[in-house]
Amino acid sequence: KKRVVSGVQPTGMVHLGNYLGAIKNWVALQDLYETFFFIVDLHAITLPYDAPELSKATRSTAAIYLACGIDSSKASIFVQSHVRAHVELMWLLSSSTPIGWLNRMIQFKEKSRKAGDENVGVALLTYPVLMASDILLYQSDLVPVGEDQTQHLELTREIAERVNNLYGGRKWKKLGGRGGNLFKVPEALIPLAGARVMSLTDGLSKMSKSAASDQSRINLLDPKDVIVNKIKRCKTDSFPGFSLKLFTSTFSLPNSSIRKKAHGIEFVYSSLEFDNPERPECRNLFSIYQIITGKTKEEVVSECQDMNWGTFKTTLTDALIEHLQPIQARYEEIMSDPGYLDNILLEGAGKASEIADITLNNVYQAMGFLRR
Ligand code: TYM
């Protein structure tokens, strides 16, 4: 069976981007593959954070995985820091990762620019090496993530290949290993729809946990009235419902071969559109509606293109609430039984450690460390 791994940071609230870009797709994968879904708490400390909140956010994120349909009898669900091998392998990989590779990471550049020099710890730079470790430890085949993680996945592949070349194969065999590659080179799995959910207040920037305004995102746990309000106030455009268009048509006279051209002006009803690049907000909201209703693009277009913004917003709000309410109800249920969640995380960390330790020991061996 192929292996699949992925994770979400326990910073802020899990939002619709995390759900549509990642978590929702994990649910389908757990039936097909051997899956490992973790909460990446070690990544959450790479920017200034609130220590008393970290453990709460970690539990809450785990409960959200379950509420969204991740099933602990199919997938291993665990907390990254509970499996020590993640940090250990990261250190080993760091020695083979050129600083230049990390300096060119877009997320590092963006986050460090926003945070200001004083707040940029070394860990923000080495963050992608930890992510590579998360993935490579499990000899993963596929990593289902949103589009913003593609560069980190590319880096993971480069690190894997470099370490395979530096320490794998015959060199590893000479040191008593089995030879061959130390790591499988993984691939990103980016969804066709939902890979980049945009902000509700600006259709050109990504929905994100770190955006200052909570109005810019729908959190999975937002109560009904908050969702109503956020969609009501979200950015739209003012493309005219009706526009004037020049047209030319050719017609032939009855009983004659003469063709005539006529020019005229007509009113065209455009209303809402999926694919007009000048209307990013419209595309984003249509796309959200499409995924949560499970409809095809064509169905959404024919259902919604003639609506005005008010009607479409009500339709979208209703669909969001209908989709999120059962998730929220399950979340409350899970959170009301801490023992249940703790057991799942304990069991998940146990299964993960077994596999992670095999890879970690191989790497120690191939890199020439004295074995215990
Ligand atoms: P994080 O916590 O920022 O986001 C979690 C997942 O949500 C996706 N995502 C989005 N997808 C669509 N539209 C959006 N607006 C949007 N915002 C976020 C992300 O692409 C991601 O899939 N570094 C990772 C966490 C990580 C990880 C890993 C992932 C650590 N180790 C190993 C996979 C494998 C991160 O910060 O994700």
Lowest-pLDDT range of 54-58, 169-173, 310-314, 368-372: 368-372
22 lines ligand 1 (CB under 6 A): yes
Q: Are residues 162 and 303 in the same domain?
A: no
**In a domain? residue 257:** no
Same domain assignment for residues 359 and 305: no
* Ligand 1 midpoint to CA 368 (Å): 34
User: What confidence tens digit (pLDDT) does each residue in 190-242 have?
Assistant: 999 999 999 999 999 999 998 889 999 999 999 999 999 999 999 999 876 66
Query: Which of 195, 187, 209 lies closest to 147, judged by CA?
Result: 195
Is 286 in the same domain as 152?
no
Residues 164 and 90 both lie in one domain: yes
| H or E, element range at 112 | helix 106-115
**pLDDT tens track for 96-107:** 999 999 999 999
Q: Is 206 a catalytic residue?
A: yes
Residue 314: which CATH number? 1.10.240.10
* In a domain? residue 104: yes
The CA-to-CA distance between both ends of the chain, in Å, stands at 32
Q: Is 61 touching ligand 1 by the criterion CB < 6 Å? A: no
Contacts by 209-213, CB closer than 8 A, 24 or more apart: 209/9, 209/11, 209/12, 209/13, 209/15, 209/18, 210/11, 210/12, 210/47, 210/111, 210/114
| 300 touches 285 (CB < 8 A) | no
* Of 167, 185, 191, 194, nearest in space to 291 by CA: 194
| Residue among 206, 235, 295, 351 flagged as catalytic | 206
* Same structural domain, 326 and 357: no
Q: What is the pLDDT of residue 288?
A: 98
Over 80: is that where the pLDDT of 365 sits?
Answer: yes
Reported as type and span, the H/E element at residue 60 is helix 51-67
Same domain, 39 and 186: yes
Quick check: 137 and 361 in contact, CB under 8 A? no
Going across the sheet that includes 75-79, the strands are: 75-79, 34-39, 3-8, 142-144, 187-189
Q: Name the residue at shortest CA distance from atom 37 of ligand 1.
A: 8
Are residues 286 and 164 part of one domain?
A: no
Determine the pLDDT at residue 250: 79
**Residue 201 counted as domain residue:** no
Contact 234 CB / ligand 1 (< 6 Å): no
Catalytic residue among 209, 235, 295, 351: 209
Alpha-carbon distance of 337 to 321, in angstroms, equals 25
List % helix, strand, coil for the chain (3-state, nearest 5): 55, 15, 35
* Whether 304 and 358 share a structural domain: no
Q: Is 353 in the pocket of ligand 1 (CB under 6 A)?
A: no
Q: What is the CA(22)–ligand 1 centre distance, in A?
A: 7
The number of folded domains in the chain is: 2
Counted residue by residue, the chain has a size of 372
Task: Give me the domain span that covers residue 280.
Answer: 224-239+270-331
| Whole-number average pLDDT of the chain | 94
Give the pLDDT score at 268: 63
Cα–chain center distance at 170: 38
Q: What is the average per-residue pLDDT within 123-137?
A: 98
Specify whether the CB–CB gap between 15 and 320 falls below 8 A.
Answer: no
In a domain, 219, yes or no: no
Give pLDDT, residue 135: 98
Same domain, 153 and 100: yes
Beta bridge partners of 34: 3
Residues 267-298: tens digit of each pLDDT: 666 689 998 899 999 999 999 999 999 999 99
Ligand 1 contact, 304 CB (< 6 A): no
**Residue 111 is among the residues annotated as catalytic for this protein:** yes
Q: Is the pLDDT of residue 319 over 70?
A: yes
Residue 261 annotated in active site: no
| pLDDT for res 116 | 85
Distance CA 5, CA 337 (A): 26
Quick one: pLDDT band at residue 257, thresholds 50, 70, 90?
confident
Tell me whether residue 79 is in a domain: yes
Question: Are 95 and 229 within one domain?
Answer: no
Residue 261 lies in a domain: no
Same domain, 67 and 185: yes
pLDDT at 246 over 80: no
Which pLDDT band holds residue 372 (cuts at 50, 70, 90)? confident
* 213 vs 209: CA distance, rounded Å: 9
Instruction: Tell me, yes or no, whether 106 and 168 share the same domain.
Output: yes
CATH number of the structural domain spanning residue 12: 3.40.50.620
Domain membership flag for residue 245: no
Q: For residue 361, what pLDDT band results from cuts at 50, 70 and 90? A: very high
Residue 165 pLDDT > 90: yes
In a domain, 52, yes or no: yes
Distance CA(202)–CA(281), nearest Å, equals: 7
The protein residue whose alpha carbon is closest to atom 14 in ligand 1 is 17
Position 263 scores a pLDDT of 84
Question: Rounded to an integer, what distance in angstroms lies between the CA atom of residue 286 and that of residue 34?
Answer: 33
* Residue 256 pLDDT: 78
